[in-house]
Chains A and B, each alone.
Chain A
Amino acid sequence: MRDTNDLKRLNNNRKKRKAILRLLLTILLLALLIIPFFILKHIINNKKEQQLLKENYSVLKELENRQIEDVEKELYQKQNKKSVDNSKDSRGSNLNNEKNLASNKVFFEDSVFMGDSLTEALDFYSLLNPSSVLAKKGQNVVQAKGFVPQLVNLKPRRIFLRYGSNDLEFFSNVNDFEKNYINLIKSIKEKLPNSEIYIQSITPITPKAQQKNPMLANDRFNLFSEALKKIADKEKVHYLDITPVISGRNNLYEPDGIHFKVEFYTLLLKFIRDNL
């Protein structure tokens, strides 16, 4: 009896060992089959990278031999196409001068628009290159002097100034406004004698907004507006009356009756182009 039990145990042990060996063998076989796949994948990826490197290198080499002007031309063309695409998907509404939108950036690329929140919108709505807009909310002609160094660095061909809305609140006396605006223009002319300077008129404010703020009343508004013409005369710079852009288009005001919707700005840029 004892012997058969021993035999049984021995057999069981042998069977166990065989089973374990079989298991190990199958695992080894699987590994041998799977590992080459990974190696192949790695090799293929390496080859792709090397191919990409070669292509990039040849593009760079080719660029070395090209003139800057040619590359710039190509960039502008691509930029035009891109702006048209962007303006299509970022503003779902149908702006019927989409072509003009794209070309505005190029047309005004060597111009700089300086002003307050009314000018900031030109960059906010991506109507011009960011480098064409030097604006900050609340700016008056005194604070504007702080932007002159940046303006000088941009070396613009044309400079479009649009101040007055905040100055109506800042200056109680129109003469001080005139004095400081002239100051600003002089400091620009000193550093950029060859740049053309344009002063834009103050856009009208709706009666509702005027009611909320007595400093914006019609008599003051007219005083300050007249001052702008005087300044342009004195300093021999261009004066741009942009009132026609908003005339008869009161729907282009934002609810606050002072700022404007994006459509106003596309009209404004067209107006400026047509009146240079």
Chain B
Amino acid sequence: MMSFKKTKVKTWLICIFAIVSILFSSCSIIQLKSPKVSEIVENIKKNTNLSSMDKANKSKLRKLYGISYRKLEEFAFYAPKTNMQANELLILKVKNQDDIDYLKERIDKRIEKQCNSFKNYEPKQYNLLENHILKIKGKYIILVVSKNADKIMKDIDKSFK
């Protein structure tokens, strides 16, 4: 009888331990895979100065991209300071995964329009646009136009680990 009870206690302890560890690891996975956009921006700012761009609001987002903030859970938009500059940082987190395709379309359109505008007149800026990085990570869609594009993208990727 005593040995039987011991094994029962053991199995319960193992079960509890297993459940708790699963809960902990799943919590951490869930949290890091969906970082807050503001956190991603903080990570970027640690290594890259964003002051060459203007932090933009939802009106600019609508004006330049034709994207409504209502479709977004969270966003960060750093826009060019003058019409002669092309550097830009856009991080969008959608409410509904289905909207990602439409948003990508709008971003592609803006890149095309910007390329058209800068081509032949500002070769440096046009170069930045040609080497833009556009990534989709689940509910996130990210655009980086910058001479520091690779560095910025690295910090963005880190935020998802």
Residue among A86, A121, A124 with the highest chain B CB neighbour number at 10 A: A124
The reply on B83 being an interface residue by CB < 8 A is yes
Cβ A138 vs Cβ B82 within 8 A: no
Cβ B121 vs Cβ A137 within 8 A: yes
Q: Which residues of B contact A124 (CB under 8 A)?
A: 82-83
Cβ B60 vs Cβ A90 within 8 A: yes
The reply on B11 being an interface residue by CB < 8 A is no
Scan residues 213-266 of chain A and give those whose CB is less than 8 A from a CB of chain B: 254, 256, 259
Q: Contact check: which of A86, A90, A126, A259 meets B84 at CB < 8 Å?
A: A259
Scan residues 41-87 of chain B and give those whose CB is less than 8 A from a CB of chain A: 56-57, 59-60, 63, 82-84
Cβ B83 vs Cβ A138 within 8 A: no
Q: Which residues of B contact A126 (CB under 8 A)?
A: 63
Q: Which residues of A contact B122 (CB under 8 A)?
A: 137
Cβ B84 vs Cβ A117 within 8 A: yes
Contact with B along A99-122 (1 / 0, CB 8 A): 000000000000000000100110
Of all chain B residues, which has the CB nearest A121?
A: B83
Assess A137 versus B59: contact at CB under 8 Å? Given A120-B83, A254-B82: no
Whole-angstrom distance from the CB of B115 to the nearest CB of chain A?
12
A-B contact count (CB 8 A): 30
Of all chain A residues, which has the CB nearest B83?
A: A124
Cβ B121 vs Cβ A138 within 8 A: yes
Contact with B along A118-139 (1 / 0, CB 8 A): 0011001010000000001110
In the complex, A120 Cα to B122 Cα: how many Å?
14
Residue among A117, A120, A136 with the highest chain B CB neighbour number at 10 A: A117
The reply on A62 being an interface residue by CB < 8 A is no
In the complex, A138 Cα to B117 Cα: how many Å?
9
In the complex, A89 Cα to B121 Cα: how many Å?
31
Determine the interface band of chain A, counting residues with CB < 8 A from chain B. 10 to 19
Q: Which residues of A contact B96 (CB under 8 A)?
A: none
Cβ A254 vs Cβ B84 within 8 A: yes
Number of interface residues of B (CB under 8 A): 13
The reply on B25 being an interface residue by CB < 8 A is no
Assess A90 versus B83: contact at CB under 8 Å? Given A137-B117, A137-B122, A138-B121: no
Of all chain A residues, which has the CB nearest B125?
A: A137
Scan residues 18-56 of chain B and give those whose CB is less than 8 A from a CB of chain A: 56
The reply on B120 being an interface residue by CB < 8 A is yes
Residue among A90, A120, A121, A136 with the highest chain B CB neighbour number at 10 A: A90
Can you show 20 pairs from A to B with CB atoms below 8 A apart? A89-B57, A90-B56, A90-B57, A90-B59, A90-B60, A117-B84, A120-B117, A121-B82, A121-B83, A126-B63, A136-B117, A137-B83, A137-B84, A137-B117, A137-B118, A137-B121, A137-B122, A138-B120, A138-B121, A254-B84
A interface residue numbers (CB < 8 A to B): 86, 89-90, 117, 120-121, 124, 126, 136-138, 254, 256, 259
- Top 9 nearest A-B pairs (CB, nearest first) are A124-B83, A138-B121, A137-B121, A120-B83, A121-B83, A86-B59, A137-B117, A259-B84, A90-B57
* 20 additional A-B residue pairs with CB within 8 Å, beyond A90-B56, A137-B121, A138-B121: A86-B59, A90-B57, A90-B59, A90-B60, A117-B83, A117-B84, A117-B121, A120-B117, A121-B83, A124-B82, A126-B63, A136-B117, A137-B83, A137-B84, A137-B118, A137-B122, A138-B120, A254-B84, A256-B84, A259-B82
